[in-house]
Amino acid sequence: MPQDRIPSSTVVRYSTGALGTGGFSTLPGLVLLYFMTDTLGIAALWAGLVIGVVRVWDVVADPVIGALSDDDDARTGSRRRWMLVGGIALPVLFVLMFAVPADLPPIASVLWVGIAYLGAATAFSVFQVPYMALPAAISHDYDERTRLLTARVIVLTIAILAFGGGGPALRGIVDDAHVGYLLMGIVCAILLAIGCLVAVPSAPRHAPYAAQRRSIASIYRETWDVLAHGPSLRALVVPFFLQALATGLMLAGGQYVATYILRDEDAITFLFVALIAPAIVAAPGWQWLSARTSKRFAFQLSSIVFIVGGVLLVPALLVPDGWVYAPVALAGLGYAGMQSLPMAMLPDAMAHDRKRTGIDRSGVIGGVWTAMETTGFALGGLVLSLVLAATGYVASRGGAEQPEGVLVGIAVAFSVLPALVVLVSLAPLRGYRLTRAVVDADVAPQQETQA
């Protein structure tokens, strides 16, 4: 039994936050591009640019949000205040993303979605960045962090299944697409609020201390220092970014696969069940394997499983039938490890940085992590929009018959491209060096100081 055992109530409250983070990370990536091209009639390239611009903002804003949350944690003794503000604002702005009036012309619709998405993404970061910094403070134990993050990933996986499968199903309840998307937005916003607000009390409290005031320039210098002088963190962040891009590409492509290759818009629900249901079962297995080998090895193996699933999707998509769900399920087994293991490795990197510098920069690191995750997801949608534009995709209100080249582009973007990106991500991961022995050596001085 570890000395730093996390109470079950804390595990439950913290992991419930994944209902909010998983929902927002999943549903816009799945349906927002499709909503703009096939309901609002926005050209694929313009729709992709809207998503890309918002995520560029994330890269700029998230490290600053992280640094400010570090400062607020020092002054108030907790990160709860930022999480609360983000958890309240996110659901409201999420609804606005899908509340576009039906009679707006495409250019006005682009502006509406872009502004609402920018606000929602900012609110998400205000919650997500301090939320990602919590595990390093909740426990110092190597295995307890894995236990905490595995519970979070199980909830995250359920959230992805609920939002990714249930969101499109809600949309299809009514015949009017605009009303369907609005209904989907309202119901999902309620779930986002529950997830975020339940997680707020999981943020631990400590005695406040004097925080050094930092300029915006100093925050970016600190962000650079975090990556430049943290080789293991860098070796973790880069693969996670690339894998978020691959996942974002599959998420964005799923609805197009359902509509234009499987010829059933509602098949997206079954694609999601095939991807996520195996992941729910597999997450504890990846935790078990990482405890007996290492987190890096298990992360590498899960990535390879995902790659194999992506490659096997190619013949399944060329002759689409029920067999398409089998390689998707195999990719889902790998996806579970690709989510849980890097998240379990991140608190170890935060603790290592704290030992190296003597200061807590978990918020800054969480800001970098969130920026890379959300940007990767968005770039997946942007890459898909470029593929659609290059192959001659026809945007319309209500859908249109697509050229054969578009169908090939959708199939490749859903299978081969994600597998290749994940394969490339394995190269930088070799530089990750935070083994159990290194992490235990980092923790010992902190425990002596607390004693």
| Percent of all residues in the chain with a pLDDT value above 70, rounded to a whole number | 93
Where is 46: in which H helix or E strand? helix 44-76
What separation in angstroms does the CA of 397 have from each of 99, 158, 374?
Answer: 16, 32, 28
Cα gap 333→344, rounded to integer Å: 17
**Which of these, 20, 53, 2, 40, lies nearest to 379 by C-alpha position?**
53
Cα gap 367→256, rounded to integer Å: 32
Mean pLDDT for the chain?
Answer: 85
Give the total residue count for the chain: 451
What separation in angstroms does the CA of 88 have from each of 124, 144, 182, 193?
Answer: 10, 30, 19, 7
Question: What are the tens digits of pLDDT across the range 60-91?
Answer: 888 889 888 888 888 888 999 999 999 999 99
Question: What are the tens digits of pLDDT across the range 91-125?
Answer: 999 999 999 998 899 889 999 999 999 999 999 99
The reported pLDDT for the residue numbered 114 is 93
pLDDT of residue 448 exceeding 50: no
Average pLDDT score over residue span 203-215: 78
pLDDT of residue 424 exceeding 90: yes
Better-scored residue on pLDDT, 32 or 321: 32
**Which of these, 233, 212, 339, 205, lies nearest to 284 by C-alpha position?**
339
Question: What are the tens digits of pLDDT across the range 263-279?
Answer: 887 788 888 788 878 87
Task: Map tokens 């022995």 to a residue.
Answer: 437
> For the whole model, what pTM was predicted?
0.75
Class of domain 12-204+227-444: mainly alpha
What separation in angstroms does the CA of 202 have from each of 16, 41, 357, 419?
Answer: 10, 43, 26, 36
The reported pLDDT for the residue numbered 417 is 92
Band of the pLDDT at 376, cuts 50, 70, 90? confident
Task: Map tokens 């394969």 to a residue.
Answer: 423
pLDDT of residue 176 exceeding 80: yes
**CB distance 24 to 94 below 8 Å:** yes
Three-class SS of residue 432? coil
Domain ranges of the chain: 12-204+227-444
Cα gap 204→139, rounded to integer Å: 10
Cα gap 200→178, rounded to integer Å: 33
